[in-house]
Amino acid sequence: MLAREAFAHLKQDLVRQYQTAYPHFQGTLADFRQQDIAQLQALLMEKVQGRVSEKWFYTHLKGKPQDKLPRIDMLNLLARFVGADSWAAYAGQVAAKSKPSVHTSNWPRWWWLVPVLLIILGWRWAMWEQPMDLYLQFVDALRQVPITETNVQVQVVTPDQQTELFFSNEQGQVILPEVADVVTIYTQAAYYLPDTLQLRPQTEEHLVALQSDDYALMIHYFSTAKVEDWKRRREQLDQAFADEAVIYQLDPQGQLGMDMLNKQEFINKLTIPINSLRNVKVWKTRYAAGQIVELRFSVD
């Protein structure tokens, strides 16, 4: 109860701090609109160099009170934003204010630590082994924008080797529900290099940056753009592919194999006008020593 009471006070102080920058706002966190959330995110970044995602805001600040408190790092972030050194210090201040005055000189000097310790222990109990959502936002590592032009495939492997497959939504997000322990995820997306990550569950946002697959993008560009320097195009493709590369042409859904080409056959089809491939979609690339050794593609 003490921890939840302190968190309720923290939300009130959060509004008061927001009003110092935007005095026209006279509501509560429940009245925050999307613009208010964005402005609060900017203030957090400016003052304490941290952020909360919009989903986290709706879950913990704008929505109905939760049975469990947010993660301690987020509590520390908000406590520092309203002027405290940490969540423990802020909770102690709240507990001290609500404590009835004691008229005795024999009360131990460290009495104020007791409610703080109770709050911390209560928070630890509430969070102990509780499943939490794992919220992933995939962004392009170079451009730092959400990956929305292609679906990111996420294979999740739990510590007991259970696997499950997820796909990103139109905003480049994946929400893995009720994750209770560290999981390993394997990512795969058209025109991005695969990646392997180990993540801990948390309700705030994991920002996952994927590196673009430059050779795959180049192949797609060559098949869609009007390029007149055929010699240079062939030289670039020759550099991109290993001599022993195996290239599969799939059906438009990327499921069934229709043809298998070697390096020279593929380069000829992509660069000789009468034989050219158009609108190539790259489904998968595999690399060795910086060159493509396997390519799977289709033609739209």
The letter for the amino acid at 124 is R
The letter for the amino acid at 95 is A
Q: What is the mean pLDDT of each run of 10 residues along the chain (300 residues)?
A: 81 93 90 89 87 83 77 86 89 74 50 57 50 78 87 87 87 78 87 88 74 92 79 91 94 78 92 77 91 92
- For 108-133, how does the pLDDT look when each residue is reduced to its tens digit (9 = 90+)? 555 555 565 555 555 554 444 455 66
pLDDT in the model for residue 81? 94
Which of 130, 127, 131, 148 has its CA nearest to residue 139? 148
pLDDT in the model for residue 116? 58
- For 242-270, how does the pLDDT look when each residue is reduced to its tens digit (9 = 90+)? 999 999 999 887 677 778 999 999 999 88
DSSP state of 248: E
How many angstroms separate the CA atoms of 91 and 43, rounded?
Answer: 22
pLDDT in the model for residue 102? 47
pLDDT in the model for residue 104? 47
Query: Global pTM?
Result: 0.54
DSSP characters over 176-241: EEEE-S-EEEEEEETTEEEEEEEE--EEEEEEEEE-B-HHHHHHHHHHHS----HHHHHHHHHHHE
Which of 51, 50, 68, 72 has its CA nearest to residue 59? 68
